[in-house]
Amino acid sequence: MAPELQEENYTTGSAEPPQKTRVTVVGSGNWGSVAAKLIASNTRRLSSFHDEVRMWVFEETLPSGEKLTDAINRNNENVKYLPGIKLGKNVVADPDLENAVNGANMLVFVTPHQFMEGICRRLVGKVKADVEAISLIKGMEVKMEGPCMISTLISDQLGINCCVLMGANIANEIAVEKFSEATVGYREKKEIAQKWVQLFNTSYFIVTPVQDVEGVELCGTLKNVVAIAAGFVDGLEMGNNTKAAIMRIGLREMKAFSKMLFPSVKDTTFFESCGVADLITTCLGGRNRKVAEAFARNEGKRSFDELEAEMLQGQKLQGVSTAKEVYEVLSHRGWLDFFPLFATVHEICIGTLPPTAIVEHSERTPKM
**Residue of 37, 80, 223, 243 marked catalytic:** 223
Alpha-carbon distance of 311 to 30, in angstroms, equals 14
Residues at the binding site for NAD(+) are 27-32, 58, 115, 171, 287, 316, 318
Decide: 86 and 77 in contact? Cβ < 8 Å: yes
Residues at the binding site are 27-32, 58, 115, 138, 171, 287-288, 316, 318
- The Cα diameter of the chain in Å comes to 75
DSSP strands (E only) in 155-305: 161-166, 180-185, 205-210
Please name which of 96, 71, 75 lies closest in space to residue 86, comparing C-alpha atoms.
75
Sheet with 132-135: strands ordered across: 91-94, 49-56, 21-26, 106-109, 132-135, 161-166, 180-185, 205-210
Please name which of 245, 292, 300, 252 lies closest in space to residue 275, comparing C-alpha atoms.
252
CA-angle at 169, arms to 256 and 260, nearest 5°: 10
How many helices (H) and strands (E) the chain has is answered by: 16, 10
Residues at the binding site for substrate are 138, 287-288
**Number of neighbouring beta carbons within 10 Å of residue 307:** 20
Question: Active site includes 126?
Answer: no
Active site amino acids: 223
